[in-house]
Chain A
Amino acid sequence: NAGVMQNPRHLVRRRGQEARLRCSPMKGHSHVYWYRQLPEEGLKFMVYLQKENIIDESGMPKERFSAEFPKEGPSILRIQQVVRGDSAAYFCASSPPEEAYEQYFGPGTRLTVT
């Protein structure tokens, strides 16, 4: 059973471009969480999704950021018109439907905005 997969592992974007980060949860997991880790800081919760539903987006910036978890395919975190302050490591985690405590983390995508 493959673990949580994220791609790309490293992403470089210029200011104003769009960044798309993908997260494939573990098999059988229907819950996905996205976190952002800024340099020198801990993980900060962004959004919690189930298939085709956003459960909690209290940590998402109001503008430019969006997330989806379609019925088929990976979860996508989308950042439009990136700025330098978006440079960070973005982690996703997945959990099975019956045990929300068990979050398994992906290796992260390190976004650099130049």
Chain B
Amino acid sequence: GQQLNQSPQSMFIQEGEDVSMNCTSSSIFNTWLWYKQDPGEGPVLLIALYKAGELTSNGRLTAQFGITRKDSFLNISASIPSDVGIYFCAGLTSGTYKYIFGTGTRLKVLA
């Protein structure tokens, strides 16, 4: 089945550093979503993007909907230990109900 290419697969960073991750697709999407998953829990929505070029922030998190509509980026500024988890992107094509999920970026923050 189709899946998004998400990179990097994992990251180890020092507390206070900024983090960048991205998703790319061969298909055009009309919606991009970014989720975070903590161990033993379901994904929780961080940011939703609905328009090409859109830049949206949620606290220390900023996400962008790529101009080509085939990619999206998530940045986390000044990372803290509770940022640890797996971050997933998901794309949705207009007129469908099927979300396509990335394979996840596993983030570990070293205090």
A and B interact physically? no
Residues of A within 8 A of B (CB): none
Residues of B within 8 A of A (CB): none
